[in-house]
Structure 1
């Protein structure tokens, strides 16, 4: 018996340790609750920007930075995460990031402009760490169902964003503390997620040693010089740019063409709701395919179709555009995250690719809302903005075609 135990594979020790102290149901609950936090605090601020602007006397440009700064710092913080995970372990890094996120949410509502923007920076960095940690974690814990689990957590992120956008104003009235109370209340969700994640962290020294002894796999050499990694990063970057640009400007585009602002808000909310379906279904489909080229091109074409409807019939075709764009944007997000786990052979590789693709992706995405606003101001309308976005969908299609081929990053 002792001989059998002595030669027991390390990965079996890992599974045994995890099963005893962190039941799979608790692991799934932890992932879902962490994912709920990853977009909620960003979406919650959008309905409050006008009130924040009036409170601090901010210009329109300074107000726009409230949503742009977290996106920018998601790109800046992403490359640091693999190093943190190697040093402290992914579970503890996720726990720390969730707690830091909650602290950033509270910092953002302090009565100071400096605290407002500092909170935005902290939130952006914390989300970056979570964005990069989750694909590697999913790859390690669910190697046979990585794409399906990617669909679960990408869907949960969008559900969190939809709930936050819809509940921010009602929470303001219920809590009675203005925008500060409404936005600050989302820190409670971070605390709940941290508590739910504790079973993944609280293991005995022996069990942690068993887990640590199971290698996360070999890292990818020269990833920043790898063409496949750049194609995945570009697909994620342009897809994210289209999402954040329309998040910032779609209701305004509709209103500027004569639609009632209340109706424009409903159209936008419908688009967000459809994103949830795309984020869930597309990664599931991707996981059943050996190549995802057609799927990536389809997402780019749907984005192009929705943008074209906004360009040609912004009011009459608003609901159609919202539905098509919602499916395309949610599906593109889910597919970009699925590429991270499908194109890598190990958890270490997934963390590396996640760091690179999300660094590039969110730095590109941060330019979208600002660039669209500048083009609108220079041209006096939204036509040029939408034409440029149409051109970008072509680049996304080409990048997605390359990212969707059946290969593993670093394979020879």
Structure 2
């Protein structure tokens, strides 16, 4: 824990600013896809692959983070990742398709590393305020995403920029965060963890329960981002209203992010909370398929609130299940590697089901399965226990909040 209130406030501020920059590359590209395909000769399919590339990187490159932390320490790893994110974000605006692909790959890899290390920093420096600090950085992450979605095109028009320059423009806030984190390079690497092998966590049952919970709740978030609007449009809603309903769902995430800590702080564990949130995420999604279309807006608000609270909860659980910093690093790497991979499968299956059947009707049972799986894994992951690795001496029951 930082030694005084000023140092603690600065540390939280640095963490929040870091999180703000971890989703900028996703919406800033998606809102410009029509311009990119129209002016650059890139096909819609290729543009779609480039859009998905950073998301794939979140799972593929997450296992690198524990290795880098073990060798270089948390702060050095974070600063290098931020500098890489700055370079990757800027590179997307140069050299056409090659720069867009290489920049997206570099930026996605660096975001994957930062994603893993955020819960680790919370575990190490804010063990007495885990739920609150987690909610703050998750909210900042979503605000960054919303800012990139809302401001990219207005900035391009106001500054009379090409789409490529508009993409590169988002390297500026990342560079600012990198500059503010540079003083942390002076901090000596934290070697207080154990000497566990990275494979140990992959053989731990509780670690898998947390990972599955992370993955399945992510799959519902990706379903909203990728398929809520198409589902509503197929059911007869006009495109503008479908987009508005989807946007309302995403905005409601912010309130959910901030509501979760109050419940986590007062509950003896996270079992009932995880169960309730899983149902509150999944039932509205299934309702979009079978309920009257007029119910779409209130259903989307409930889903968004629950989804935001679920994301804060699962990241908090990663910290609470970790008895020390090294375990937090390994568990965070596992959950965000396998978890994001699991999360990407459900939207893919939805697309395949729609392609095979010609409608979204068959998606209902898939969403029911995901909802039940999220509830069961969340109940298991929410128990007050530690992920104990071989050679560890941690107690079986934990009490931190």
> What residue in structure 2 maps to residue 252 of structure 1?
230
Q: Secondary structure at the match of 1:177?
A: coil
Distance 2:160 2:232 in 1: 32
Pairing partner for 2:319 from 341, 344, 347: 341
Q: Which structure: greater helix fraction?
A: 1
Deviation at 1:371, TM superposition (A): 2.7
Pairing partner for 1:330 from 308, 323, 329: 308
Q: How does 1:209-228 map to 2 (within 5 A)?
A: 212=190, 215-216=192-193, 219=196, 222-228=200-206
> What residue in structure 2 maps to residue 8 of structure 1?
none
Pairing partner for 2:377 from 376, 384, 399: 399
Distance 2:273 2:368 in 1: 18
Distance 1:176 1:303 in 2: 41
Q: Secondary structure at the match of 2:127?
A: coil
8 Å CA contact 2:2–2:8 kept in 1: the answer is no
Q: How does 1:2-401 map to 2 (within 5 A)?
A: 23-203=7-187, 208=188, 212=190, 215-216=192-193, 219=196, 222-313=200-291, 315-401=293-379
TM-score of the two chains, using structure 2 as the length reference: 0.91
Deviation at 1:306, TM superposition (A): 1.1
Distance 2:26 2:112 in 1: 13
Distance 2:293 2:159 in 1: 36
Residue by residue over 1:30-70, the C-alpha shift from the partner in whole angstroms, topping out at 9 and shown as x without a partner, is: 11110001112212222222222333444443332233211
- Higher alpha-carbon deviation: 53-62 or 35-44: 53-62
8 Å CA contact 1:344–1:409 kept in 2: the answer is yes
Deviation at 1:216, TM superposition (A): 3.8
> What residue in structure 1 maps to residue 391 of structure 2?
none
Distance 1:130 1:109 in 2: 22
> What residue in structure 2 maps to residue 5 of structure 1?
none
Distance 1:349 1:314 in 2: 47
CA 1:368–1:67: 2 relative to 1, 3 Å: farther
5+ residue gaps, structure 2, are 389-394, 397-401
Deviation at 1:153, TM superposition (A): 0.8
Residue by residue over 1:104-133, the C-alpha shift from the partner in whole angstroms, topping out at 9 and shown as x without a partner, is: 112222242232222222122111100111
> What residue in structure 1 maps to residue 399 of structure 2?
none
Distance 2:371 2:288 in 1: 14
CA 1:57–1:248: 2 relative to 1, 3 Å: farther
Distance 2:163 2:280 in 1: 36
Q: Secondary structure at the match of 1:78?
A: coil
Distance 1:122 1:314 in 2: 44
Deviation at 1:314, TM superposition (A): 6.2
Deviation at 1:326, TM superposition (A): 0.6
5+ residue gaps, structure 1, are 1-13
Deviation at 1:323, TM superposition (A): 0.3
